[in-house]
Amino acid sequence: MNLWIGIFVAAALVYSWKIFGYLLPVKLLEKPKITRTVATLTVSLLSALLGLQAVISGNQIQFDARIPALIVAGLLLIIRAPFIVVVAVAAAVAALVRAFF
């Protein structure tokens, strides 16, 4: 029962933030500093999620084939390779690391 209470509380909090976003004045959201901050915040949150998902397996830190694949993908993104190339090469690197190590 405590789990469901937590789920309902979390859902209510998320919904309240969504409503709060609609209530903000448009002038506030159009400021360049706010726009830059929101864009940076989105990228940083997604990067943190990716980093956690890459090195944590269950309850422990685990370094496996995902780390070299992420490094290669990051390097390819830095040189602005097409996204499909990034995905294909990262998958190939992960497969090779798993096959040989």
Residue 42 has what pLDDT? 86
**Predicted local distance difference test score (pLDDT) of residue 29:** 83
Assess if residue 48 is contained within a domain. yes
Asked if residue 91 belongs to a domain, the reply is yes
Q: Which domain holds residue 38?
A: 25-100
Sites in the chain below the pLDDT cut of 50:
none
| Separation of CA 7 from chain center | 22
Q: What is the pLDDT of residue 68?
A: 95
Predicted confidence at residue 45, as pLDDT, reads: 92
Angstrom distances, CA of residue 15 to CA of 10, 25, 39, 73: 9, 18, 21, 35
How far is residue 38 from each of residues 8, 24, 56, measured CA to CA in Å?
27, 14, 27
Tell me 24's DSSP state: S
Q: What is the pTM assigned to this prediction?
A: 0.61
Within a domain: 69: yes
